[in-house]
Structure 1
Amino acid sequence: MDDPQPTIDTDLVRRLVDAQFPRWRDLPISPVASGGWDNRTFHLGDEMTVRLPSAAAYSLQVEKEQRWLPKLAPFLPLPIPTPLAMGEPGEGYPWRWSVYRWIEGETAKNARIADLGAFALSLADFLVALRGIDPADGPAPGRHNFHRGGPLTVYDGQVRQAITALEDRIDAQAATTVWETALAATWSGSPVWFHGDVASGNLLVKDGSLSAVIDFGTSGVGDPSCDLAITWTFLEGTSREAFRARVVVDDATWARGRGWALWKALITVAGHDANQAEAERQRSVIDEVLAEHQRWA
């Protein structure tokens, strides 16, 4: 049986902050509008946020971000979260948690972006810079990041089950071909830094342009192909081609990137937790991945 999850609300955050960081006792606390699912995020005054893992699996990421984000930030062309303090378990909450500096911006949506092509180029430049940072002693793929950066084989069973469950709704044969092509395109390069969850909700926009990249919980050093999923989940048309040209990876890495995008889309559509809108969006991702594989085959 899974352990019961703690109730994470403003009252809990107030008690934690007051007990562990009394210097911030007088600052107001309120939920962030898009507070996330893996972690719950709250405003602390006007210039800080409090971020609490929502389950034990995500708590492994706290110390990693505290250690590595300050080391990565100087080498990146866009702002990333700045840890200010790390909280300890307390007040009935069982895990460590973080206080960050607030970053202005809104999560990426097409209506907020002035030029999707320029956005794609900025994102590609960020990922290239991230890959160029010295990976020595960086966190290898594992439980802390749900094996991002590792071999896709870890999700082979999930994918094949999802394809079987969806065989009357998708082109199961084509999906199997894309997946097996991704499995065969094994990673043989030296480990590099990757973000691990390059999704619209983790990309901030200000004044129409990409302004920051947040949530490095699934980051690590290894195969960077997982960072390519944004190609099919958000970019389109000429912006997709601009991103492809700028991010500079080989065909095998693109094949694995399609595998990562397909994995997430398949398990979302086959699962029972996604709402209809999200299931439809992920079904579109499946179609895009299959169509592109056919074009490049």
Structure 2
Amino acid sequence: MTFLGEGWDSTAVLVDGRWVERRPRRAEIGPQLVRESVVMPWLAPMLPLPVPVPVLVSDDPVVVRHELVPGEEITSLTATQGRQLGEFLKALHAVPANQARERGVGPMPLPVDRFRTEVQVPGGDELLAKIDGLPADTLVHGDLGPEHVLGRDGVLTGVIDFGDLHVGDAAIDLAWALHATPPEFAAALAEVYGVTPALRERALVWHQLGPWHEVLHGHDTGDAETVEVGLAGVLDRLKRG
């Protein structure tokens, strides 16, 4: 058994070199892992890249297990990979949201009140005002970034970590992909996906909002360094946006 890592919500170990076993770090995460064991077997066949398909092996305590998705965290991004991810997101966002709701996937409300009180920075109120009225009609990954996109030999091999899967704004999955990747990757993805100016603009809002969650997580865990890094990210993305 090999320890793979500890995320915000769960810990993971590799069993027999093939199976990833995950356990919740907090009691409220248990139902999330159970939901993944219901939703992912239904969702996976509709997607063009491998994804985790967890099976519930224990409900008290909650433990899920899935086959290891091949590949490693990508360190360089190319147009080929951009096209692959564009096709992946296009397929994911085409999945009927009502069918996801029937399997327990709903919206994910933003902690806007906490943002206002705990992340007070110049320009912050203007960004939070842009959140009002954003659509919430698409099945989204919800936490798509370089650590959750795997590759090998110049191509993508899988997408992992669907703990934040929810019905929300399609632009949230385009935030990192359009605004924090090399131009050739972003352009290829945008062409395949069919990114509109409105989607690109909303994706920037979500990209700017990303580090705000890091600040709140630091407050919740009493980690001053995480708070400091999160605030630096908030200010940097607001300035660049």
TM-score of the pair, normalised by structure 2: 0.81
Judged with a 3 Å threshold, the aligned counterparts in structure 2 of structure 1 residues 87 and 158 are, in CA distance, closer, same or farther, namely same
The alpha-carbon distance between structure 1 residues 193 and 100, as it changes in their structure 2 partners (threshold 3 A), is: same
Q: Distance in 2 between matches of 1:200 and 1:278?
A: 21
How far, CA to CA, are the matches of 1:199 and 1:211 in structure 2? 15
Q: Structure 1, residues 154-212: CA drift from partner, whole Å, max 9, x if none?
A: 43223323442xx3xxxx13x433332332x532x7x3221111122211122232210
Distance 2:55 2:112 in 1: 39
Paired residues in the alignment total 236
Q: Deviations over 1:60-102 (max 9, x none)?
A: 212211111111111111000122443121xxxxx42201111
Say whether residues 1:129 and 2:100 are aligned partners: no
Displacement, 1:136? 3.0
Question: Which residue of the partner structure matches residue 198 of structure 1?
Answer: 144
Counterpart amino acid of 1:248?
Answer: G
1:233 and 1:283 mapped to 2: Cα distance?
17
Q: Of 157, 170, 185, which residue of structure 1 is paired with 2:113?
A: 157
Q: Which amino acid aligns with 1:186?
A: L
Cα 1:98–1:193 shift into 2, 3 Å = same
CA-to-aligned-CA distance 1:38-68 (integer Å, 9 cap, x gap): 1111111022121111112321212211111
> Does the 8 Å contact 1:192/1:224 carry over to 2?
yes
Structure 2 residue 177 is the aligned partner of structure 1 residue 211: no
CA contact (8 A) 1:75 1:129 kept: yes
The sequence identity of aligned pairs, in percent, is 25
The corresponding residue for 2:78 is 116
Note the residue ranges of structure 1 that are not aligned, 5 or more in a row: 1-28, 90-94, 293-297
Q: Give the structure-1-normalised TM-score.
A: 0.67
Deviation at 1:260, TM superposition (A): 2.8
1:242 aligns with: 188
**In the aligned structure 2, how far is the partner of 1:233 from the partner of 1:180?**
20
Higher strand share: 2
CA separation in 2, counterparts of 1:260 and 1:101? 31
RMSD: 3.1
User: Which of 107, 116, 134 is 2:73 aligned to?
Assistant: 107
Is residue 134 of structure 2 the alignment partner of residue 186 of structure 1?
A: yes
